[in-house]
Homo-oligomer: A and B are copies of this chain.
Amino acid sequence: MSNEIPYKIYLNESEMPNAWYNVRADMKEKPDPLINASTHQPVTKEELREVFCDELVKQELDNENRFIPIPEEIRNFYRMYRPSPLVRAYFLEKKLGTPAKIYYKFEGNNTSGSHKLNSAIAQAYYAKKQGLKGVTTETGAGQWGTAMSMACSYFDLDCKVFMVKCSYEQKPFRREVMRTYGASVTPSPSMTTKVGQQILTEHPGTSGSLGCAISEAVETAVTTPGYRYVLGSVLNQVLLHQSIIGMETKAAMDQYGIKPDIIIGCAGGGSNLGGLMSPFLGEALRGEADYRFIAVEPASCPSLTRGAFAYDYCDTGKICPMAKMYTLGCDYIPSASHAGGLRYHGMNPILSKLYDDGILEARSVKQTEVFEAAEMFARVEGTLPAPESSHAIRAAIDEALKCKESGEEKTIVFGLTGTGYFDMFAYEKFHDGKMENYVPADEEIAQALAKLPQI
């Protein structure tokens, strides 16, 4: 093993980025704007302010400023668990016998267990600064809810989490972590909101969905004085906050003169993917560098690879503004056999645009392939990965094996977004050979897309 590059590259705290990276500044054609779900006109700042904090509305709509300074209070909090390590996967390379050099940026060394905390603390900070009492949000796999609970606890804000019911029941320990941080957790759909009541009336036995939990959280935010809604992915502001991942990765690589050939991220709503890639995408868009960008999504929820690029609702209740994005339709719910997150029906508008423009590649992987990669990674690299992150591991391994065949010494970097300590139920299924690979039939996808609003 080489002695030149350490196993883990840690930036010094003084080398941590002072600004987030806004990749929209580098895009010649900007993403299409959010539009009002009733009027179909571009949403105004005023409309968005009813849902989101003022400063976050500004960030959501900012297509121009490349660098957005990170407030000192947020940088202080980041120091609690950042800089995160950029790890050279020496053990994995050896196991695969590949000439490729594999790196991963590991975001799981904090109690939320994932990168979600990077945006949660920013959103909590702006809520506090605006003098709010609290925030509402939804959580699926539970990482975002945990992150938001931690962030709210730090700024002494109330945090109301709507947790997708099947996840609430399958992951009681996730719920308990949120309680440790003082959050209230309600299984969704619930009777506490109109939209929840309506969904429960129409589908009495439903185990919930992300789109439905979002609707409940938004309704609660706009009807409760002193509250706003926060979201852990999909939004442009989230990509912005998550760019800290890419900024640190790039700084660490630059220090050691490492230039990646392939950058890989798992793809749900796009928060980690966009965050890791942002500064690299900026270079590519400015023509300063040439990278391959690969988004990896579950075969059971293939918004990029099989969805349509269209204006769609962001939530089941159709309360939120609409976004132009790759989508399977707001009613699409991945099969119950799908484990873990990455189950949102759409994809962040910036990434959707870049995919449509051919800058970003995408592929889908089946979940048993994902868990095979996860287990191999856990054994050789010592970190038991989250199912979500393992999509990126799968693609990184596949690319490294191609290098083994071709003899190319490519440099691959991927985002290891989090740990799987609260996902052992899914691992158990995998070990017991009970994990299914659901791939929606063409007809199912066609039916879902046929329901897309005509705009």
A residues with CB within 8 A of B: 1, 6-8, 10, 12-13, 76, 79-81, 91, 109-111, 113, 150, 153-154, 172-173, 176-177, 179-182, 375, 378-384, 419, 421-422, 424-425, 427-428, 431
Asked if residues A424 and B173 are in contact (CB atoms below 8 Å), the reply is: yes
Chain B CB count within 10 A is highest, among A10, A81, A110, A173, for A173
Min CB–CB distance A128 → chain B (angstroms)? 15
Asked if residues A378 and B111 are in contact (CB atoms below 8 Å), the reply is: yes
Kindly list chain B residues whose C-beta atoms are within 8 Å of the C-beta of A181. Answer: 378-379
The chain B residue with its CB closest to the CB of A171 is B424
Instruction: Report Cα–Cα, A109/B10, bound state, in Å.
Output: 14
Asked if residues B379 and A424 are in contact (CB atoms below 8 Å), the reply is: no
Min CB–CB distance A102 → chain B (angstroms)? 14
Asked if residues A180 and B111 are in contact (CB atoms below 8 Å), the reply is: no
Which residue in B1, B8, B384 is a CB contact (below 8 Å) of A76?
B1
What are 14 pairs between A and B in contact, CB < 8 Å? A6-B12, A8-B79, A80-B91, A80-B382, A110-B383, A154-B382, A172-B428, A173-B421, A173-B425, A177-B384, A179-B427, A180-B375, A180-B384, A421-B421
The chain B residue with its CB closest to the CB of A181 is B379
**How many protomers of this protein does the assembly include?**
2
Asked if residues A382 and B428 are in contact (CB atoms below 8 Å), the reply is: no
Given contacts A7-B79, A7-B80, A421-B421, contact A431 B384 (CB under 8 A): no
Kindly list chain B residues whose C-beta atoms are within 8 Å of the C-beta of A378. Answer: 111, 180-181
Given contacts A6-B12, A13-B6, contact A110 B382 (CB under 8 A): yes
Min CB–CB distance A259 → chain B (angstroms)? 22
Instruction: Report Cα–Cα, A172/B425, bound state, in Å.
Output: 9
Given contacts A7-B13, A12-B6, A431-B176, contact A382 B424 (CB under 8 A): no
